[in-house]
Structure 1
Amino acid sequence: MPTPHHRQPRYRTIADELRSRIESGVIPPGSLLPTEASLTAEFRASRGTVRQAIASLREERLVATAHGRGTYVAFPLEQGDEFETTSIPSSPRHVPADEELAAIFDVETGSPLVEVRSVLQVNGNTESVICIYSRPLQGAAGQE
């Protein structure tokens, strides 16, 4: 089945769309790209095709992938600059839900949540700290 851009590989079409979103600021520097599962559904493409598109953006240094954390939009660099990104994840820890998190998760204030922080560094400088919260697994330490 031909794609709307039948003269170029499907992964290029996906990479072009993601590049456009990054360059326009729809997906700003330091933020995560949508998950592979989300992108496969959105573009109706295989996981391998989506991975090829992301690899293409990585080669262009528009994104950086942190193992187990996801793919982040890289911060713009001056022409010719080299960069090295590092994601430093913390160990999961249980925290009480504040009022805002309680409202988001529809739980009582003080209910246990699991927090994982990831520090994104570019060339040794901290660029962002990302906190991910989730409900504790049933039967896990959340029943303290």
Structure 2
Amino acid sequence: MPTPHYGQPRYRVIADELKERIENGVIPLGALLPTESVLTAEFQVARGTIRKAIAALRDAGYAATEHGRGTYATQKSLHLTQGPTVRLRRIPADEQLATLFQIKVGTTLIERETVVQRGDQVDMVIRAYRILPATP
């Protein structure tokens, strides 16, 4: 999808497009960005151009890359008035979590709850779970 860039470097135009998709929710927060190969095909550019665009997104706080996970949309676009609140706690696995993790009901899990607010308004609550590591 060729885009007129009016003097801007091509990677900057792509970074701006991806940033707009994140801000508009087309790419939801926490969701993986399309792979480099998908983006190279969509924007009809070299892989290096896509890498520079993703680096620009990371620098601006709209994306983060985790080794082994990929690049995902971050919370920059929320314009938060305060940082997210994170709480860790141990919980017993209910039936749904036990099925997902393929463990017994009642097995101890770690729940990480992140509450993101704008002012006094809760914008989102994210809960992630992991199995409590076995102690030797």
TM-score, normalised relative to structure 1:
0.57
Instruction: Report the equivalent of 1:27.
Output: 27
| Structure with the higher fraction of residues in helix conformation | 2
Deviation, structure 1 residue 33: 4.2
Runs of 4+ in 1 over 4 A off after TM superposition: 4-7, 44-49
Q: 1:33–1:89: structure 2 CA closer, same or farther, 3 Å change rule?
A: same
Percent identity between the two aligned chains: 24
Tell me the matched-pair count. 113
Change (3 A) 1:106 1:49: same
| Candidates 64, 74, 93, aligned match of 2:89 | 93
> TM-score, normalised on structure 2?
0.59
> Structure 1 residues 74 and 85 mapped into 2: Cα distance closer, same or farther (>3 Å)?
farther
CA drift of 1:93 comes to 1.9
The unaligned stretches of length 5 or more in structure 2 are 37-46, 65-72
Aligned-pair Cα RMSD in Å: 3.6
Question: Which 5+ residue runs of structure 1 have no aligned equivalent?
Answer: 76-81
- Asked if structure 2 preserves the Cα contact closer than 8 Å seen for 1:12 and 1:53, the reply is no
AA aligned to 2:30 is L
